[in-house]
Amino acid sequence: MRDWLRHHPDVKTIRVAAADLNGQARGKRVPVRFADKIVKEGTRFPYSVLNLDIWGEDIEDSPLVFESGDVDGVLKPTERGFLPMPWLEAPTALLPLWMFHENGTPYEGDPRHALARVVQKFHALGLRPVCATELEFYLIDDSGRELRVPPSPRSGKRRPGADTLALRALDAFDNFFTDLYNACEEMDIDADTAISEAGIGQFEINLLHSDDVLKVADDTWLFKMLARGLAPALPPASWQNPMTTGPATACICISRSPIPRGATCSTMAAPRAPTFCARRLRAA
């Protein structure tokens, strides 16, 4: 991990962050001179930071919040190591973390540890899950009273409606998608195909299947950060359907196979609002 920073001497600050239960990055900005200390000893966040609501506020009646102050957990780097943050102007590195108790045992409220436990149960049954995610998002213009598709930087025109699997919809934002794919290469995010979707201003990028389930989850989390970071070159990107009409979809592909070979694939998709999809996927 330390070698990465030595090969990038222009990096002066780092971000250390973990994913909370809503997939939001919670962390700190740290001068690069303290990077070795964090790699070796870790850093500290309150346990409750990984269990905030979607607005970043304490959950009411949470047992993790105390009148006298929150109890700290110890956060250590994941195996991912340092990554560039191409959406920032100054050269900056991100160090993904996950949380442990003081005695070194995993913190049960960390979603990455929860996923690791699930994967271990599959392996104990002689199965190796193979997963991929389809990441759908909207490019929207929220500068007016109503949400609209942003004008194309190439033509200056707005698409009046949805345009499913249309190359012209992708080409209208060619610079954005080119920057997005280049940044995925820099961050080792396994991005595959991109398409325009059925919603107004809706696009989808697939990640490659892999039996490294933690990397798939990490890639998904990092891709969300990346797309939101690059989107200020356009109006903000949204991960839920911002329009009052039109479809929204969500899909997750899971294969389960004996570790030697063979596989079956189960795909779940729900052409409804994102909240419905989330409930369905959680139940499945």
Q: For position 92, what pLDDT does the model report?
A: 98
Question: What value, to the nearest 5°, has the Cα angle with vertex 151 and ends 146 and 156?
Answer: 140
Both 105 and 244 in a single domain? Answer: no
- How far apart (Å, rounded) are the C-alpha atoms in residues 234 and 175? 10
**DSSP letter (8 states) at residue 106:** B
Domain with 265, as residue range(s), is 127-283
Tell me: pLDDT of 238 over 70.
no
Describe the chain by its helix, strand, coil percentages, rounded to 5. Answer: 30, 30, 40
Asked if residue 92 lies in contact with residue 70, where contact means CB atoms within 8 angstroms, the answer is: no
Q: For position 145, what pLDDT does the model report?
A: 85
What would the pLDDT profile of 122-167 be if each residue is shown by its tens digit? 999 999 999 999 999 998 887 888 878 888 888 888 888 788 999 9
CA-based torsion, 50, 53, 58, 64: positive or negative: negative
Both 34 and 171 in a single domain? Answer: no
Asked if residue 275 lies in contact with residue 248, where contact means CB atoms within 8 angstroms, the answer is: no
pLDDT band of 1, cuts 50, 70, 90: confident
Q: For position 240, what pLDDT does the model report?
A: 53
* pTM for the structure as a whole: 0.84
Q: For position 46, what pLDDT does the model report?
A: 93
Structural domain tally of the chain? Answer: 2
Both 163 and 31 in a single domain? Answer: no
The CATH number of whichever domain residue 93 belongs to comes to 3.10.20.70
Residue 119: inside a domain: no
Both 154 and 108 in a single domain? Answer: no
Neighbours of 23 (CB within 10 A): 14
Question: What value, to the nearest 5°, has the Cα angle with vertex 85 and ends 195 and 235?
Answer: 50
